[in-house]
Chains A and B, each alone.
Chain A
Amino acid sequence: MQGEDYTPRLLPSGEQALTFQISEAVDEGANRRIIALAAALDRAIAAGEIAGVTERVPTYRSLLVRYDPERIRGAALGEALLALHAGLEARAETGRLWRVPVHYGGPAALDLESLAAEKGMTPDELVALHSGAEYRVYMIGFAPGFAYLGGLPGILHAPRLPQPRQLVPAGAIGIGGKQGNINSVAGPSGWRFLGATPVRLFDPRRADPFLLEAGDRVRFEPVDAAAFARLSAEAEAGSALIAPEEAA
């Protein structure tokens, strides 16, 4: 990580949050650095070095830190974050790896045929490209457990639909611009969808309601309709279906 490329800006987000921003673009290096900063902040809080932080939200390019002004002032928190950022070690963190089963077909494959045609390839070729890449969770946001993925092969980049669909099911696997995603909950979306995973990224009934974290890696593994149905039933019964492989 080359810190000199990412000059921090401290932006107030009201009087109970500040945005520690190091880039204005989608940038894997910036994202790695933000996730490392979030981890460093967690360690500093656990060590009792920083008090009064109530939440932190890593995004593509910035870390939103919420705080309680009765316990820490924004100016002091900003100084502490600058010091943590300056002290980040120049090593590439490798996140946990999740192997996510995907059925490229069925009712969630809303755009598989049309997108393949647009790209001048067969659906099988598109699936091979999509499931052959390794993705990185840039950010969890928008809705509970919703994962924004970087690492989509350039040939698969595709603009969003001009008119969002009203209801796309939970688990749908999509493409929006240069990003991939896994829908965590059913809802409206203008992304292009290729299929669905039986894995529920968010299920409040589970002991661990969330699976992915920013910085994790994801690989998609094609499964057929029968396996999808069987796994969906297991997920419905409360199984997470998958566990991460810890980083080496």
Chain B
Amino acid sequence: MSLTVLSPGPLATVQDAGRGGLRHQGVSAAGPMDAPAMMLANALAGNDPAAAAIEFAGFGGSFRAETDCRIAVTGGRIDLALPGQKGVAGQAYRLRAGEEVRIGAVGGATWGYLAVSGGIAIAPALGSRATHLRSGLGGLDGRALQAGDVLPLGAFDPFDPCLAPAVSAPEDRDGPAEIRVVPGPQDDRFSAATLARFAAEEFTVTPQRDRMAMVLDGPVLAAEGGHDIVSDGTVPGSIQVPGSGRPLVLMAEAQTTGGYPKIATVIGADLPRLAQLPTGSRFRFVPVDRDAAEEIWIDSRRRLRARLEALRPKPEGALSSAYLLSCDLVGGIWPPEEVVWQS
């Protein structure tokens, strides 16, 4: 049981929930840039939300199923070309052994996810399958996917249904982007005037972005007493301000410690939204206090769990039962797409 990579999109990597618990050894968790999107893709494909899936930037590329399986794509508005029909992000589809899917551009966002039933079952490294490109750890030989890569799949029940949301909830990514931050830990290195500009003026997402960090354009933020501190711990979401005065936000694959003052930290509920902003997007930072941010996080987790639990089997047409597929009857009688994809 496997999936073959025919032509991957840029920065396509295997990711899972991440390599937690090793920051004290200099190892950041890696994992997805947009964890809720990857968890949704997994849930749609019938997987544990923490299963390994494929993350890509910009567009998805082409893949071939080597076994009957279910796939789901999430992350933005993304078109799928499946055998005999078009598909969209946000619901699961069946692929039969030998069939291909072409995954198009990520519309209105940056990072997309492809989950396959069973999950990507490559050998974990240090307890996780997440790829950390910078240190060549995890994933497939610690690198981005290439044409010809064959990814083994874990066990799954081929009779399980394709899932879709019970109600199609609109993505809450429209409207003026506001990214909430908790000030600190080194906000005291910046003057009141600089902190006011940080919270009032617009920033722009620049092309200098990857899985490690996003460099922002906007007001220059000068630290009083210089931009070097004795290195201390960083987290995903830390907003470092180096000597250029241009802030950069540390992301999934960032280093574990850093020597630049950190003016604020993007809250966990908003970091995936920031990651997904297309290059050139403008947004503002909105300070919130730590206690309020914790409430926002707890609420966002509750809503995410509810969303994952609210997935329902998709109508797959009168003759599309898993039973017929399992008997391999349909392939010989009707073109599969006429059977499977009518709803």
Contact = CB atoms under 8 A, between A and B. Distances in A.
A19 B188 CA distance: 14
B294 A15 contact: yes
Interface stretch (B76-84, B100-108, B295-303): B295-303
Interface stretch (A57-65, A94-102, A112-120): A57-65
A212 B24 CA distance: 11
Contacts, number: 143
A12 B182 contact: yes
Given A58-B24, A214-B24, A66 B235 contact: yes
Contact of B291 (A61, A62, A75): A75
Contact of B185 (A11, A25, A73): A11
A49 interface: no
A209 B25 CA distance: 10
Nearest to B138: A204
A137 to B, nearest CB: 11
Contact of A15 (B25, B134, B256, B268): B268
B135 A141 contact: no
B126 to A, nearest CB: 6
Contacts of A25: 230
A64 B231 contact: no
B329 interface: no
Interface in A180-221: 184-185, 202, 204, 209-210, 213-214
Given A57-B23, A143-B26, A14 B266 contact: yes
Interface string B117-156: 0000000011000000011110000000000000000000
Contacts of B94: none
B97 interface: no
Given A14-B266, A69-B297, A204-B126, A60 B230 contact: yes
Contacts of B265: 12-15, 17
B21 A54 contact: yes
A13 B238 contact: yes
A64 B21 CA distance: 12
Most B Cβ at <10 Å: residue of A21, A59, A61 = A59
Most B Cβ at <10 Å: residue of A12, A26, A74 = A12
B11 interface: no
A246 interface: no
B230 A64 contact: no
A228 interface: no
Contact of B25 (A16, A26, A38, A144): A144
Contact of A19 (B24, B26, B233, B298): B233
Contacts of A202: 25-26
Interface in A152-191: 184-185
B200 interface: no
Contacts of A69: 294, 297-298
B86 interface: no
Most B Cβ at <10 Å: residue of A14, A21, A146 = A14
Given A15-B297, A141-B231, 13 more contacts: A12-B182, A12-B290, A25-B230, A55-B20, A55-B21, A57-B257, A60-B231, A64-B234, A73-B294, A139-B257, A142-B256, A144-B27, A202-B26
Closest 7 CB pairs of A and B: A64-B233, A141-B257, A14-B265, A15-B293, A11-B185, A69-B294, A57-B233
Interface of A: 11-17, 19, 21, 24-26, 38, 54-64, 66, 69-70, 73-75, 139-146, 148, 184-185, 202, 204, 209-210, 213-214
25 contacts: A11-B184, A11-B185, A12-B184, A13-B182, A13-B262, A14-B265, A14-B290, A15-B182, A16-B268, A19-B185, A25-B230, A38-B24, A55-B22, A59-B233, A64-B233, A66-B23, A69-B297, A73-B291, A75-B290, A140-B24, A140-B26, A141-B231, A202-B26, A204-B126, A209-B126
